[in-house]
Amino acid sequence: MLTDECEMRPFLEQRGVAVIETDLGERIQQLDDEPPSHIVVPAVHKLKADVAELFARTLGTDATNNDVHYLAESQRRTTRPSFLNADAGMTGANFAVAETGAIVVCTNEGNADLSVHCPPLYIASVGIEKIVPRTEHLGIFVRMLSRSALGSPITQMTSHFRAPRPGTQMHIVLVDNGRSERLGMADFWTSLKCIRCGACMNTCPVYRRSGGLSYGATYSGPIGVIIDPTYDLRKYSALPFASTLNGSCSAVCPVKIDIHDQIYKWRRVITERNALPFAKKQAMRMAGKLLASPRLYRAAVEAAGASVEYLPRVMLYNRLNAWGRQREVPAAPAMTFRQWWLKHRADKSGEPR
């Protein structure tokens, strides 16, 4: 089966269906046995050298050649035979038009057309919130999607699939998966407005530093923080606490979802339902006591800065510290901000102005 629907891949593969991703970024992630790290640019965390090493290991290419054109062409040569012989193809939908029955898919590679036009069976998996009433309403969404995602006026390909070709089949699956329930949530229903542009992820300081894979879900970043708990509250109960609540996600959202406010409200729901893991609960309790005492906080910051420099590596990089598996802790600055402030800006009394 051909697909540009990354969420379906594990489900199908567990049932014996061979899946080939048609999107280049998704294909890279599939070969590396990883989920996407961004909803628009799935392999954004990988460098050319990373892809060259991956393709050499999985496709037999030259590991020393990281030329983009060479890598893309190598991937085409290995996948095109599968595209031409696939039994079925599947896409998601950026939008679905009720007036015409069209499934609208926006891509910059034309890969959705491969999933639709090559196999004899086409399946469209459409979230029920993606339906717009008429074609005249579609234009603003298509322009808004590309400008918010990539800064471009429109995507390279905006495909409308309305009916099967002669001799083929087209099936449309309308997906609820908790959406109707979310529609009835007064505090969270506006998340259904999301057009999956990724603007909130691009501006989020937490996402930019932690990467999408750390969220443990297909939807990462601020939008994932407010969507994922609706699918499985206990599994994703820690995500709403991975936010600074700075509000930049809400500021850039083209459809005006109050993302940071919903993150705060999810924290309240998780606490009220006692869904926070024990370790996280204890960590939050300790953090509350630490942040409530200026003297204790300052002492902890200074102690942490000194300990990172002198502690044995095994104390920081071990199985218990998931953050240390792919990251190096940066060197602590010579002085904290408060120490710098007292040295350069304090008044004669020795206290900050």
Q: Is residue 18 part of a domain?
A: yes
Confidence check: pLDDT of 348 > 60: no
Give the model's confidence band at 37: pLDDT under 50 very low, under 70 low, under 90 confident, else very high: very high
- Cα 250 versus chain centre, distance: 16
Give percent of the chain above pLDDT 90. 69
Residue 145's pLDDT band, with cuts at 50, 70 and 90, is very high
Note the pLDDT of residue 5.
55
Average pLDDT of 6-15?
81
Kindly state whether residues 193 and 260 are assigned to the same domain: yes
Which residues are 132's β-sheet partners?
Answer: 97
- What's the number of domains the chain is made of? 3
- Sole residue written with tokens 């640019």: 41
Q: What would the pLDDT profile of 278-327 be if each residue is shown by its tens digit?
A: 887 888 889 889 989 999 998 888 888 777 777 777 877 888 777 777 77
Residues 6+ apart with CB under 8 A from 298: 336, 338
Residue 118 in this model has a pLDDT that exceeds 60: yes
Q: Tell me if 290 is assigned to some domain.
A: no
Mean per-residue pLDDT for 28-50? 94
Same domain, 184 and 313: no
SS3 state of residue 171: strand
Residue 167 belongs to a domain? yes
pLDDT at residue number 350:
53
* Average pLDDT of span 328-339: 80
Name residues whose C-beta falls within 8 Å of residue 201's C-beta, 6 or more positions apart in sequence. Answer: 38, 39, 207, 212, 220, 221, 222, 223
pLDDT tens digits for 71-86? 999 999 999 999 999 9
Could you give the CA distance from residue 216 to residue 37 in angstroms, rounded to a whole number? 10
- Span 52-67, average pLDDT: 96
Mean pLDDT of 111-135: 95
N-to-C CA span, the chain? 66
Has residue 126 been placed in a domain? yes
The pLDDT score that the predictor gives to residue 260 is 97
Q: What mean pLDDT, rounded, does the chain reach?
A: 90
Domain boundary among 175, 198, 232: 175
Nearest to 263 by CA among 221, 222, 215: 222
Distance (Å, whole) CA 96 – CA 314 = 53
**Is the pLDDT assigned to residue 97 strictly greater than 90?**
yes
- 192 within 8 A of 183, measured Cβ to Cβ: yes
Q: State the maximum Cα–Cα separation within the chain, in Å, rounded to a whole number.
A: 87
Pairing of strands 102-107, 95-97: antiparallel
Q: Are residues 198 and 260 in the same domain?
A: yes
Identify whether 128 is part of a domain. Answer: yes
Q: Does any domain span residue 70?
A: yes
CA angle at residue 144 from 143 to 150, to 5 degrees?
90
| Rounded alpha-carbon distances, angstroms, from residue 126 to 93, 164, 190 | 5, 16, 18
Residues 330-343 have a mean pLDDT of 83
Measured distance CA(224)–CA(39) in Å, rounded:
10
Asked if residue 4 has pLDDT above 60, the reply is no
Q: Is residue 349 part of a domain?
A: no
pLDDT digits (tens, 9 = 90+) for 229-279: 998 999 999 999 989 999 999 999 999 999 999 999 999 999 899 888 888
Q: How confident is the model at residue 142 (pLDDT cuts 50, 70, 90)?
A: very high
**In terms of pLDDT, which residue wins out, 351 or 299?**
299
What is the reported pLDDT for 306?
75
* Per-residue CA distances from 326 to 44, 144, 213, 239, 323 (Å): 16, 35, 11, 20, 7
Burial annotation 282-307 (CB, 10 A radius, 16+ → b, else e): eeeeeeeeeeeeeeeeeeebeeeeee
The CATH code of the domain that includes 226 is: 1.10.1060
- In this structure, the answer to whether residues 224 and 145 fall within a common structural domain is no
Structural domain of residue 339, as residue ranges?
309-344
Question: At 93, is the pLDDT very low, low, confident or very high (cuts 50, 70, 90)?
Answer: very high
Q: Which residues are paired to 20 by β-bridges?
A: 2
Is residue 285 in some structural domain? no
Residues 161 and 203 both lie in one domain: no
**Confidence tier at 351 by pLDDT (50, 70, 90):** low
For residues 45 and 156, state if they share a domain.
yes
- Name the token pair of 349: 């009394």
Highest mean pLDDT among 7-11, 12-16, 129-133, 210-214: 129-133
| Amino acid 331: pLDDT | 77
Same domain, 36 and 184: no
If asked whether residues 255 and 325 sit together in one domain, one would say no
pLDDT on residue 349: 53
What is the rounded distance in angstroms from the CA atom of residue 212 to the CA atom of residue 215? 6
